[in-house]
Amino acid sequence: MPPPALPAPIVAVNASASASHVIHRIRLTRRSWHTSASPSDHPVDNFPRSADTPFAQFAVRAGRRPTLRSDLVTSVTVRVPAKVNLQLAVGPIRDDGYHDLVNVFHAVSIFDEIVASEGTALTVRVEGHGADQVPDGGDNLAVRAAHALATHAGRPYGASLLIRKNIPVAGGMAGGSADAAAALVACNELWGLGLSRDDLMEIAADLGSDVPFALLGGTAVGTGRGEKLTPLEVGGVFHWVFALADGGLSTPKVYRECDRMREATGMRVGWPEPSEDLLAALRDGDSVRLGKAISNDLQPAAIMLRRSLARTLEAGHEALGGIVSGSGPTCAFLARSPEHAAELAVSLTAAGVCRAAVIGDGPVPGATVGS
């Protein structure tokens, strides 16, 4: 069966650039090397900014306009959202060990915050719940993102990164990927590189399957490993409750369990395709229809590895729909309204099936520079 027909993914970016684009990029980079340069040496207003790029189009729809800062900064704060998978269709294993996916990403209003400050080396410090579970050295995905950006720029830049965690660690909401995306945005700003969001998307795709979406935000279909994104129009705001679990689940372990369960049952897996019902529900802003359409091929494997998730999903039976988010163990429940979301949060907490029940709305924009 051929792959599903979707518009060209936004990470398929033409790497060619005009001569003036290259000249301006070089001059922008020189600004970050020579702090004594005058403002006239930093022609930010002339830097090419295409309103036709997919990111720019989404940003305008979301009420944002991509800009470049012309002033020298010593610290940059970026806020980045969690994601929930509205559909996670897992295809057969590829030759490279990955699976072909159809992954409908939806960014929600649970945010990590990264502060990037001047530094002579790349360092990271983590605060918040689960901070002790996050690597604090070169294995940290935010540090790897900053290093990849410095390598792309061809300079040994340094930065001190502070990560303030609100997205659950190893919770199936792409918290590590979100931090990597935030680090790309923050260091791009801190170092005065002037790279476009589409440039950052190309770097992000090499860091992990979920990192490009954390840059984009909104709602999008991911194909390939999930890194090839097609933004979706959404007809409204959706209200969610997230049941956060104690401890996390290893994403590779959940995928391996999914493969094992399929092999044990002789299940034959075809090419994954987007759910037409789900796409229509998103387009129409129909939360009732969306609640019936959400699905996750990894859910049985996550429940097999964490049996308590079945009880969590049952406790949220009054929701319009409930699902394990990604590889888990966070469970997401769709509500009719903010009031219904508050009621669900109370009932989930009272049932004792989660360490916390957090309310969030979606879609929201991706990694964004704050004040």
pLDDT in tens, 242-285: 999 988 899 899 999 999 999 999 998 888 899 999 999 999 99
Q: At residue 254, what are phi and psi to the nearest 5 degrees?
A: -65, -40
Give the span between the Cα atoms of 345 and 108, in whole angstroms.
16
Q: Can you list the domains of the chain with their CATH numbers?
A: 69-231+365-369 (3.30.230.10), 238-362 (3.30.70.890)
**Sign of dihedral through CA atoms 297, 300, 301, 302?**
positive
**Residues labelled as active-site residues:** 83, 210
Count Cβ atoms below 10 Å from residue 72 Cβ, excluding itself: 13
- Vertex 331 angle, CA 115 and 143, to 5°: 25
Confidence of residue 71 (pLDDT cuts 50, 70, 90): low
What confidence tens digit (pLDDT) does each residue in 87-117 have? 999 998 888 888 889 999 999 999 999 999 9
pLDDT at 226 over 70: yes
| Beta carbons of 241 and 358 less than 8 angstroms apart | yes
pLDDT at 177: 96
Question: Nearest Cα to 4, choosing from 104, 136, 105?
Answer: 104
Q: Which residue has the tokens 């897996």?
A: 269
Burial class from Cβ neighbours inside 10 Å (0-12, 13-18, 19+) for residue 47 reads middle
| Beta carbons of 272 and 224 less than 8 angstroms apart | no
Give the span between the Cα atoms of 122 and 325, in whole angstroms.
32
